Copies of this chain bind each other. A is one copy, B any other.
Amino acid sequence: MNPADQDACRAWQLLMKFFFAQRAHLPSSGARFDLSPIQCHVLHLLEPRRPLPMSRLADTLSCDASNVTGLVDRMESRGLVRRRSSPEDRRVKVLQLTATGARLRTQLLRQMTGGSLPLSRLSLDQQRTLVKILEALVDEK
């Protein structure tokens, strides 16, 4: 394996490690509100005044649509999100944060940036560089 591949490989492994390591810190933030890691992520993705079609969420999570159905079922039954039929296309249902959901989201984001999490170990420069690289990596259209 050449050196370039080794870097790619190592980066991959570290990204995975970070994802799993991150769960250890959820008890102090997400789980305090009884949110699973995925629910935290969905809550983060759902911006307060920007309704999101369920199919878009399935795309972002790279999972089956039926998975989103269940995920949203649970979040809706807890009063965090609401399904609304889209007027333009009556097949699609868009997700909206409820007031409760938006409040929880704010608290979650606050905790996310709170001092104890590993991200705060990075310098500002590093954080900004990381964001730039990840944006290239994720390539949101």
- CA separation between A87 and B13, bound complex, in Å? 30
Interface string of A10-22 (1 = CB under 8 A from B): 1111111111111
Determine whether the beta carbon of B126 is less than 8 Å from that of A20.
Answer: no
Docked-complex contact B121 and A14, CB < 8 angstroms: no
- Interface secondary structure of A, over-half rule: helix
Query: Quick one: given A7-B124, A18-B137, are A62 and B119 in contact (CB under 8 Å)?
Result: no
Q: Contact: B133 with A129, CB < 8 Å?
A: yes
> Knowing A19-B19, A23-B62 touch, does A131 contact B44 (C-beta < 8 A)?
no
- A86, CB-defined interface residue at 8 Å: no
How many residues of chain A have a CB within 8 Å of chain B? 53
On whether the beta carbons of A127 and B44 are closer than 8 Å, the reply is no
* Selected contact of A17 from candidates B9, B60, B120, CB within 8 Å: B60
Nearest chain-B residue to A134 (Cβ)?
B14
Interface flags, A34-61, vs B, CB<8A=1, else 0: 0000000100110000000000000011
